[in-house]
Amino acid sequence: MNIRQQTADGGFELAARPRVLIDPFARAITYLRVSVTDRCDFRCVYCMAEDMTFLPKADVLTLEELDRLCSAFIAKGVRKLRLTGGEPLVRRGIMNLFASLSRHLQSGALDELTLTTNGSQLRKYAAELARHGVRRINVSLDTLDPAKFRAVTRWGDLDKVLDGIRAAQEAGLAIKINAVALKGVNEEEFVGLTEWAHGEGMDLTFIEVMPLGDVGAGRLDQYLPLSMVRAWLAERFTLTDIDYRTGGPARYMRVAETGGRLGFITPLTHNFCESCNRVRITCTGTLYMCLGQDDAADLRGPLRASEADDVLYAAIDAAIARKPKGHDFVIDRRHKRPALARHMSVTGG
């Protein structure tokens, strides 16, 4: 891989491979999640307010800038790249970014190129994603009840998402369904979702709702600890913890009755920061070293300051040196405001 570095006379030379990213707690940063747009065709009640104001297009990195930023992290040791959003598949020209990033899969610099999607555009894009080297995808789906689906997503159409999932299966993509556990919404569906996902040959992960952004609803009204979900599922299924890991925060178990894998992401009841290997970039080039903290570093300035990558590398190094030990989300009656002002759609879930 060519690493460009500016010389004293303003020219460029090839530099040695940049240092890999190790944070102050000796964690190697090998996983980058990039929000390619803050826009979405859904308005999930726990994620966005209905009347969201989106960023002006001029503030958002171009696809070429996103490629350069991702490539800089790959040069610094990132092995897994996830595009997210907003909804990544509503970004115009997004297949060009997948196509260009796939060169890192071909060179062996990257182990995995993937995305998190609401599934609404999969019928259109699944085959092309597979052609660009995507092998596994995460699809967010909280309920199989069409009316509830519409209520949770405000604008979504369940049939379209299910058809998108079929298209992804036809294209040979492995699918993991992510479902946020929502009190009063899908608590009666945990068994049904498990049977459906596993029956379709898909993994399923439940996620605790996180206090990110003001969404116009009390978090206490939405929050369900996954310890309770597990207890309910255990009344019906035989659950055995397994060592399977995908490089993410989920802890997995095997469901004996379905033969499938079930994951739990529990940022509130069990903080998973000690093994954190990831950082996140917004579509404006802001690097968040922790999903649950406000500290961030601007990478758009360094990216645009010079065509050479050394300024960018220095900014990335300085940011990783500030990666905090962890977050501490709290949802209780004394914490009525969101723990963080920014929505999940900004940082990318």
Task: Sketch the per residue contact string, 186 through 215, with ligand SAM: x for CB under 6 A, - otherwise.
Answer: ---------------------x-xx-x---
If you ran DSSP here, which 8-state letter would residue 127 be given? H
Instruction: Give CA angle at 28 (100, 108), nearest 5°.
Output: 35
Nearer to ligand SAM, 71 or 186 (CB): 186
Residues in the chain: 349
**For ligand SAM, which residue of 37, 114, 118, 205 counts as binding (CB under 6 A)?**
118
Nearer to ligand SAM, 37 or 71 (CB): 37
**For ligand SAM, which residue of 37, 71, 143, 178 counts as binding (CB under 6 A)?**
178
Q: Does 117 bind ligand SAM (CB under 6 A)?
A: yes
In angstroms, give the least distance from the CB of 199 to ligand SAM: 21
**For ligand SAM, which residue of 47, 69, 72, 316 counts as binding (CB under 6 A)?**
47
**For ligand SAM, which residue of 85, 156, 248, 292 counts as binding (CB under 6 A)?**
85
- CB distance 296 to 287 below 8 Å: yes
- Interface stretch with ligand SAM, choices 197-205, 255-263, 313-321, 341-349 (CB under 6 A): 341-349
**For ligand SAM, which residue of 40, 262, 297, 311 counts as binding (CB under 6 A)?**
40
For the chain, strand residue ranges (E) read: 4-6, 12-14, 31-35, 80-84, 112-117, 136-140, 174-181, 203-208, 239-242, 251-255, 261-265, 278-281, 286-288, 296-298
In angstroms, give the least distance from the CB of 197 to ligand SAM: 14
DSSP, collapsed to helix, strand or coil, labels residue 157 as: coil
Total of residues contacting ligand SAM (CB under 6 A): 20
In angstroms, give the least distance from the CB of 241 to ligand SAM: 23
Nearer to ligand SAM, 44 or 315 (CB): 44
Nearer to ligand SAM, 97 or 210 (CB): 210
Bridge partner list, 297: 287
- CB distance 291 to 82 below 8 Å: no
Structure token pair of residue 137:
């995808």
- CB distance 324 to 279 below 8 Å: no
Give the number of other Cβ atoms within 10 Å of residue 322's Cβ. 14
Helix 190-199, helix 226-236: angle, nearest 10: 70
Residue 91 CA to residue 70 CA, distance in Å, equals 17
Residue 97 CA to residue 79 CA, distance in Å, equals 17
- Interface stretch with ligand SAM, choices 41-49, 98-106, 252-260, 285-293 (CB under 6 A): 41-49
H helices present in 171-214, as ranges:
190-199
Those residues whose C-beta lies under 8 Å from the C-beta of residue 62, and which sit 6 or more positions away, are none
In angstroms, give the least distance from the CB of 218 to ligand SAM: 13
Q: Does 153 bind ligand SAM (CB under 6 A)?
A: no
- Interface stretch with ligand SAM, choices 2-10, 43-51, 185-193, 280-288 (CB under 6 A): 43-51
Q: Does 46 bind ligand SAM (CB under 6 A)?
A: yes
Nearer to ligand SAM, 63 or 210 (CB): 210
DSSP, collapsed to helix, strand or coil, labels residue 153 as: helix
Residue 151 CA to residue 163 CA, distance in Å, equals 19
In angstroms, give the least distance from the CB of 90 to ligand SAM: 8
Nearer to ligand SAM, 140 or 308 (CB): 140
Those residues whose C-beta lies under 8 Å from the C-beta of residue 235, and which sit 6 or more positions away, are none
In angstroms, give the least distance from the CB of 4 to ligand SAM: 32
Nearer to ligand SAM, 212 or 255 (CB): 212
Which parts of this chain interact with ligand SAM (CB under 6 A)?
A: 40, 44, 46-47, 84-85, 87, 116-118, 140, 178, 180, 207, 209-210, 212, 344-345, 349
